[in-house]
């Protein structure tokens, strides 16, 4: 078993002040594959001090210098894509076949780099010069379900803005972040600009969120932890960007291609073993069409090949941990107990798999919108099919959630589809399964979050805004914002 004894602070691999280790468990074999040193509050102090010291220079780096830095990070990352896919297969059970997990980050880095070429950091409004300046030291806290992508999006927009940072990955997936740190080190990220402190949410995450030397917290994770981070950060009035949970609905209108909608929904919901924040985990179908759509759902769910995520033929790996496995089992049993109709899947491991945190792809019909399987984020391959009476009823069900992350609509009527998209109270809507774009903002309404990531909206999360008066002549040479 490999030992990882270091954090990364002030440009150097550093042992924690009080070393403690946690085992990283491979969810396929349930065996420990690595032992990783965890930091504590004293390490966060050191990392924040390093990031503060580095801010003076890095915040004044030129746009050209940051573009070249991102280019070097991309090259260094590209050399390791195979290693990344192996590491996340082992630490998080994510199939090697899931190209989006390792190639997606490259695209996000390219978008951030290209944006730097056109973004106006200095412009004019009235007779003021309006400057967009890096916000300062950022605390980046990320989850395990997209372990590299969530981290890359945060750090690349932070670097593009000229910020310095302290990052903490999930305890379940520290290995990919250690590899990512190697990438940044090799690419020549200046000393102190990026620091990595592995550790628990309760200790390291809280030390980061409360630290007076941190100007912003960018957090991706559960709504429960996000509430705590927001409350902690409020004491020092930090900017907080929260990307939280979801319970997204897919509204299939009666004129939709039912088979296409059903198959797409299963793939999108069960992709990544259902561990995706935007998963369409509520499928809203007209009451008269429920029986018609179910066979397509069952057939599509049966197409997944469950097994070792290192095998490229595997399309569904295990869930990340014993805890996550138990939570999902609890929800499936809860759905049965609440009287929903189990269409496929159910409790227990899938047939033929005697170890590993594997879950059966599960579909429930006759789900009442008030049942827990319809209201709580399960974060596993579990779909709730909910009948509706008419379009307004469907929209009311979709919006009747504390979450508002994603939304989906299937119909052959484009105008009607757009009307529904306008009505849904969620940050990202997709019509007939349209692909998303990494230039466009992503984030949640309601308890799915605060702020937006990706593209220009994502960059601006890491910028402060300053109005400067008395320089009218200089202001007049500048482009007008919204001009
Ligand atoms: P989690 O909330 O348990 O942990 C996320 C991160 O927060 C981890 O690094 C953890 O150590 C840290 N953390 C936990 N408690 C903390 C605290 N009190 N203070 C500071 N940090 C703390 O979430 P998870 O199980 O790792 O990830 C799954 C969740 O993430 C799901 O709810 C999912 O919807 C959400 N998610 C959202 C998005 C999005 O873009 N909205 C993207 C990916 C995942």
Same domain, 461 and 353: no
What residues are labeled active site?
243, 277
**47 CB near ligand 1 (under 6 Å):** no
Assigned domain for 441 exists = no
Same domain, 221 and 367: no
pLDDT number for residue 481: 86
Assigned domain for 301 exists = yes
Same domain, 238 and 302: no
Angle between helices 99-118 and 147-161 (to 10 degrees): 10
255 near 290, Cβ under 8 Å? no
Q: Return d(Cα 372, Cα 370) in angstroms, integer.
A: 6
Ligand 1: residue whose CA is nearest its atom 36: 221
pLDDT grade, residue 299 (50/70/90)? very high
Same domain, 213 and 258: no
Same domain, 268 and 137: no
Question: Measured in angstroms, how far is the CA atom of residue 243 from the centroid of ligand 1?
Answer: 8
- Domain with 288 in it: 249-431
pLDDT number for residue 227: 98
CA-wise closest residue to 446 among 430, 424, 419: 424
Average pLDDT value for residue range 412-437: 98
Assigned domain for 58 exists = yes
- Ranges of beta strands (E only) in 58-158 are 122-125, 128-134, 137-141
**164 CB near ligand 1 (under 6 Å):** no
CATH number of the domain enclosing 353 = 3.40.309.10
Same domain, 339 and 231: no
How many structural domains is the chain composed of?
2
Question: Measured in angstroms, how far is the CA atom of residue 409 from the centroid of ligand 1?
Answer: 27
Residue 266 has pLDDT above 70, yes or no: yes
Q: Return d(Cα 288, Cα 304) in angstroms, integer.
A: 28
Assigned domain for 417 exists = yes
pLDDT number for residue 1: 87
Same domain, 201 and 255: no
Question: Measured in angstroms, how far is the CA atom of residue 296 from the centroid of ligand 1?
Answer: 33
Same domain, 222 and 269: no
Assigned domain for 164 exists = yes
| Three-state secondary structure call for residue 140 | strand
Residue 305 is classified by DSSP as -
Same domain, 411 and 452: no
Assigned domain for 480 exists = no
Question: Measured in angstroms, how far is the CA atom of residue 366 from the centroid of ligand 1?
Answer: 31
Q: Is 0.75 topped by the overall pTM?
A: yes
Assigned domain for 482 exists = no
Among 386, 403, 431, identify where a domain stops: 431
pLDDT tens digits for range 84-137: 999 999 999 999 988 899 999 999 999 999 999 999 999 999 999 999 999 999
Question: Measured in angstroms, how far is the CA atom of residue 220 from the centroid of ligand 1?
Answer: 5
CATH number of the domain enclosing 49 = 3.40.605.10
Q: Return d(Cα 323, Cα 259) in angstroms, integer.
A: 34
Mutate to test the pocket of ligand 1, among 175, 217, 225 (most ligand atoms within 8 A of CB): 225
Among 431, 456, 477, identify where a domain stops: 431
Same domain, 33 and 144: yes
Residue 483 has pLDDT above 60, yes or no: no
pLDDT tens digits for range 13-51: 999 999 899 999 999 999 999 999 999 999 999 999 999
Q: Indicate which atom in ligand 1 lies nearest the CA of residue 208.
A: 20
Same domain, 49 and 149: yes
**201 CB near ligand 1 (under 6 Å):** yes
- Owner of token pair 């469907």: 394
Same domain, 261 and 148: no
pLDDT number for residue 97: 82
**274 CB near ligand 1 (under 6 Å):** no
Residue 451 has pLDDT above 70, yes or no: yes
For the chain, what percentages of helix, strand and coil (3-state, to nearest 5) are there? 40, 20, 35
């Amino acid at each position: 078993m490999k030992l990882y004894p270091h954090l990364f602070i002030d440009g150097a691999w550093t042992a924690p002040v009080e070393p403690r280790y946690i085992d990283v468990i491979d969810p396929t074999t349930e065996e420990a594959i690595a032992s990783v040193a965890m930091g504590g509050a004293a390490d966060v102090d050191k990392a924040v001090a390093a990031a503060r010291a580095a801010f003076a220079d890095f915040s004044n780096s030129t746009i050209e210098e940051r573009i070249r830095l991102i280019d070097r990070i991309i090259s260094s990352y590209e050399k390791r894509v195979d290693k990344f896919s192996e590491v996340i297969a082992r630490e998080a059970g994510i199939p090697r076949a899931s190209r989006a997990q390792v190639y997606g980050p490259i695209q996000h880095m390219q978008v951030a780099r290209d944006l730097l070429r056109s973004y106006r950091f200095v412009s004019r409004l009235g007779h003021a010069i309006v400057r967009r300046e890096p916000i300062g030291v950022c605390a980046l806290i990320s989850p395990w379900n997209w372990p590299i992508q969530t981290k890359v999006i945060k750090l690349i927009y932070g670097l593009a803005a000229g910020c310095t940072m302290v990052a903490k990955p999930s305890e379940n997936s520290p290995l990919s972040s250690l590899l990512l740190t190697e990438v940044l080190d090799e690419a020549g990220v200046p000393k102190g600009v990026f620091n990595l402190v592995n550790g628990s949410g309760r200790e390291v995450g809280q030390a980061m969120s409360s630290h007076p030397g941190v100007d912003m917290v960018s957090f991706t994770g559960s709504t429960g932890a996000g509430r705590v981070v927001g409350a902690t950060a409020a004491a020092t009035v930090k900017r907080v960007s929260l990307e939280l949970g979801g319970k997204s609905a897919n509204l299939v209108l009666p004129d939709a291609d039912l088979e296409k909608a059903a198959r797409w929904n299963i793939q999108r919901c069960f992709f990544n073993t259902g561990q995706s924040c935007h998963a369409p985990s509520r499928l809203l179908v007209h009451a008269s069409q429920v029986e018609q759509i179910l066979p397509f759902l069952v057939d599509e769910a049966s197409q997944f090949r469950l097994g070792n995520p290192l095998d490229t033929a595997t399309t569904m790996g295990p869930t990340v941990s014993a805890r996550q496995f138990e939570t999902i089992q609890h929800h499936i049993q809860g759905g049965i107990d609440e009287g929903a109709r189990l269409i496929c899947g159910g409790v227990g491991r899938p047939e033929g798999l005697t170890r590993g945190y594997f879950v059966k792809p599960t579909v429930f019909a006759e789900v009442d919108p008030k049942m827990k399987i319809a209201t709580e984020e399960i974060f596993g391959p579990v779909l709730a099919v909910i009948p509706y009476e008419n379009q307004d009823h469907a929209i009311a069900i979709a919006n009747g959630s504390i979450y508002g992350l994603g939304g989906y609509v299937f119909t052959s009527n484009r105008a009607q589809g757009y009307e529904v998209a306008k009505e849904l109270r969620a940050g990202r809507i997709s019509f007939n399964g349209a692909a998303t774009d990494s230039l466009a903002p992503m984030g949640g309404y309601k308890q799915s979050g605060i702020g937006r990531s990706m593209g220009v909206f994502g960059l601006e999360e890491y910028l402060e805004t300053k109005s400067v008066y008395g320089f009218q002549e200089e202001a007049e040479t500048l482009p007008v914002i919204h001009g």
